[in-house]
Amino acid sequence: MQFKRTPDHRFDNLADYPFAPHYLQVDDTQNGSLRMHYLDEGPADGAVILLLHGQPVWSYLYRHMIPRLVDAGFRVIVPDLIGFGRSDKPSQPQDYTYARHVAWTSDWLTQLNLTNITVFLQDWGSLIGLRMVTAFPQRFSHVVLSNGGLPAGSVPADFTEFLKAAYKTLPVVKAHELGARFRDTSGIPGFFYWRKYCAESPDINVAELVELSSFSTLSADERAAYDAPFPDVSYMAGVRRFPSLIPLLQDEPEVAENKAAWEVLAQFDKPFMCAFADSDPVTAGGDAPFLKRVPGCEGVEHRTIANAGHFVQQDQPEACVKAILDVRRSR
């Protein structure tokens, strides 16, 4: 598998990101390997906190949470998903599949042999992370889910062909229009505009997407750091591809696998907290199926994180840390 590797100098002197890099080689599923980057902070014998990011960000998203968790005595581990951050970036969009992302990240997890994990999941971190929780439930002790989910072909079958046809005719809107598309429930779901934008927009910019999806305004240093892994669009195959991999339609790959994962979640009785933001139109209401179906949600103090958008870790890192500490105290 051909891949690109972001030059190290792109990560020099990033604001509030003093962490040392660590690397593992994971099976690329094509008789080769890819280098996966992760942070490993805090005492080696501390209880493990695993923080998983989504698209289009990387471990920099967790920069303000890591020191607080380390100060609380935890070993904090934060990978960059393949295609993001300091991890290798397969060059072709078709190299990225949902199944491969689960395989790559699972390989990394089992190589580290992590156990007794408290995991914080958001965006694609939840689509991949929940598959790992259900594949290796013995490794996980607590779960915090924020602004994420586990789609399994939720779009009705009789609407699928209409959406496929409509998608081909959708315009590639400007980034600043995406928020309004998500909030407009009168027509084509906003997510399909997002899918189209990421796949086809000629001027895609990671920092702009983060800022548009956040409650707060990014500083110039923050914008530079979010852009750091992507010197140019040739490094962005993963950024472009991720939205197209979410299995919303019933005939998309990984629907059956996600349905099977839901069956495991329906038996998962370890503490499971939902901590969704109050201002994220992308995942609003996404906590409902978990609260209804996951036994581990019972007896846990769920919460809505105020003044936060999709990237709740960027907007309210202290509230995210509190959610992690609270879920660990719940049982």
Q: Which residue numbers are catalytic?
A: 123, 280, 310
Q: Angle at CA 58, nearest 5°, toward 57 and 64?
A: 100
